[in-house]
């Protein structure tokens, strides 16, 4: 598959002057809940109502969705509000039921995208459809797997496609429920600039207080849309309670977000510059996180050395590190002088950390 302008026809057809907004609850809970949220969203920037009917849960025993019954609620919400509808499909049977219920957009969940067999089945069940299919990134940070899923739909003659970035799972606990790894989405965007890219800040965050910042980063990186979990009573939602926001909060957030519009060459220049700057910000953030992690390990080394009465500075080890880093630096077009400066500073900070630990241990 190569980049094609036609990939974004479905999105352009909306003629929106703001990013596409998909909003609604994590799960459809009751008919009244779906209808109430749809009415609260109807006169906002949200064009599409989302609600999960079949909920993939990592562990059994959590709410697994209301099933096919919920499709009728989405249909009713569409009739009453004019909003388009979207839900997750995870097998060919779901596809048949969703098509029967005339759901407008189908999304493929992160736990489905990981499996080429299931993706292939779903793609074949949808062959030639003019419905839009949005493919969430797989739970593991693997761009090829994500693209592979997009290609499976494309080769079944499904041309209304888009991708949803919902972050990647990590064993290590971070401030995110799913680590954004922005670079993966940026790489995908560079390869397929016309494939609509939508941010799902809710599943990246896992908590509502950082949804706004995530959306701003997404918009600064030129994302085409946002999918935000929205519920009138987030704390009592049957799934993903901590990350949902109210429709009113969504409206306020859309007012507060800085949305860039591409018109005129100066604006275009600024947009490009902003996108590149945001890419740099993302990497700087990773640098700081990694430096922090490195110093935590230094603390552990400091403790170990103090316990064993070993001196902090070990010249042989240090020279080995420098030699290795200079060679690695060369492969990445980084000068020897630069590597020396950076690593001397890193080494000094590491020694300071180890000294502090040794002092605390009274060594
Ligand atoms: C969801 O959108 O509610 C969902 C289950 O998402 P994901 O597949 O990204 O975990
Ligand atoms: Mn959810």
pLDDT at 57: 78
Q: Which residues contact 286 (CB under 8 A, 6 or more apart)?
A: none
329-359 pLDDT per residue, tens: 999 999 999 999 999 999 999 999 998 988 8
For 237, residues 6+ apart whose C-beta sits below 8 A from its C-beta are: 25, 26, 27, 29, 231, 244
Q: Please, what is the angle between helix 336-360 and helix 315-331, to 10°? A: 140
**Residues with beta carbon inside 6 Å of ligand 1?**
26, 52, 56, 109-111, 136, 166, 203
**pLDDT (tens digit, 9 = 90+) per residue, 217-273?**
999 889 999 999 999 999 999 999 999 999 999 999 999 999 876 656 666 787 788
Contact criterion met (CB below 8 Å) for 210 and 235: no
Mutate to test the pocket of ligand 1, among 25, 48, 56, 168 (most ligand atoms within 8 A of CB): 56
Q: Which long-range contacts (CB under 8 A, 24 or more apart) does 271-278 make?
A: 271/222, 274/220, 275/220, 275/221, 275/222, 277/220, 278/217, 278/220, 278/221
pLDDT at 311: 82
pLDDT given for residue 267 in this prediction: 66
DSSP sequence for 289-315: HHHHHHHHHHHHHHHHHHHTT--S--H
What confidence tier does 362 reach under pLDDT thresholds 50, 70, 90?
A: confident
**What pLDDT score was predicted for residue 306?**
87
Neighbours of ion ligand 2 (CB under 5 A): 26, 240
Q: Domain locations in the chain?
A: 5-259, 267-362
Residues in CB range of 106: below 8 A, 6 or more apart = 86, 87, 88, 89, 95, 98, 126, 131, 132, 133, 134
Per-residue tokens: 172: 């290590």
Tokens 């400091």 appear where? 302
pLDDT recorded at residue 101 = 97
- Most informative mutation of 52, 63, 163 for ligand 1 (most atoms within 8 A of CB): 52
Which architecture, in CATH terms, is 267-362? Up-down Bundle (1.20)
Domain 5-259 architecture: Alpha-Beta Barrel (3.20)
Which atom, in ligand 1's list, is nearest to the CA of 136?
A: 9
CB atoms within 10 A of CB 245: 21
Task: Read off the pTM.
Answer: 0.82
Task: Count Cβ atoms within 10 A of the Cβ of residue 347 and give its class: 0-12 exposed, 13-18 middle, 19 or more buried.
Answer: middle
- In sign, the C-alpha dihedral spanning 16, 19, 20, 21 is negative
Looking at the predicted structure, is the pLDDT value of residue 363 above 60?
Answer: no
pLDDT of residue 18: 94
Q: What pLDDT shows up at residue 361?
A: 81
Tell which wins on pLDDT, 59 or 10.
10
User: pLDDT at position 275, please?
Assistant: 80
264-309: pLDDT as tens digits:
666 678 778 878 888 898 899 899 999 999 999 999 999 998 889 8
What are the Cα distances from residue 198, in Å, to 82, 182, 338?
Answer: 22, 12, 38
**Length of the chain, please?**
363
Q: What mean pLDDT is reported for the chain? A: 93
């Amino acid at each position: 598959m190569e980049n094609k302008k036609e990939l974004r026809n479905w999105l352009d057809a909306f003629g929106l002057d703001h990013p596409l907004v998909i909003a609604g609850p994590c799960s459809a809970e009751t008919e009244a809940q779906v209808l109430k949220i749809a009415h609260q969203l109807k006169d906002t920037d949200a064009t599409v109502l989302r609600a999960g009917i079949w909920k993939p849960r990592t562990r059994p025993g959590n709410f697994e969705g209301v099933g096919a019954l919920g499709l009728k609620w989405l249909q009713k919400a569409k009739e009453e509000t004019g909003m388009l509808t979207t839900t997750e499909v995870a097998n060919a049977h779901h596809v048949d039921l969703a098509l029967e219920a005339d759901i407008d957009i189908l999304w493929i969940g992160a736990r489905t995208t990981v499996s080429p067999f299931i993706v292939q089945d779903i793609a074949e069940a949808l062959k030639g459809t003019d419905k839009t299919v949005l493919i969430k990134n797989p739970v593991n940070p693997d761009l090829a797997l994500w693209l592979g899923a997009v290609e499976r739909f494309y080769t079944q003659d499904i041309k209304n496609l888009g991708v949803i970035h919902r972050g990647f799972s990590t064993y290590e606990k971070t401030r995110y429920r799913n680590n954004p790894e922005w670079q993966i989405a940026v790489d995908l965007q560079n390869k397929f600039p016309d494939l609509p890219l939508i941010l799902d800040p809710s599943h990246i965050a896992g908590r509502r207080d950082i949804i706004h910042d995530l959306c701003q980063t997404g918009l600064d990186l030129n994302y085409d849309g946002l999918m935000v979990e929205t519920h009138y009573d987030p704390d009592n939602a049957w799934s993903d309670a901590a990350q949902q926001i109210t429709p009113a909060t969504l409206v306020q957030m859309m007012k507060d977000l800085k949305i860039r519009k591409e018109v005129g060459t100066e604006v275009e220049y600024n947009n490009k510059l902003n996108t590149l700057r945001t890419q740099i910000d993302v990497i700087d953030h990773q640098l700081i996180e990694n430096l922090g992690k490195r110093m935590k390990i230094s603390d552990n080394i400091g403790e170990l050395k103090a316990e064993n009465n070993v001196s902090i500075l070990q010249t042989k080890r240090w020279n080995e590190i420098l030699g290795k880093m200079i060679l690695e630096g060369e492969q990445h077009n980084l000068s020897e002088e630069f590597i020396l400066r950076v690593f001397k500073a890193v080494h000094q900070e590491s020694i300071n950390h180890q000294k502090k630990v040794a002092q605390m241990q009274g060594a």
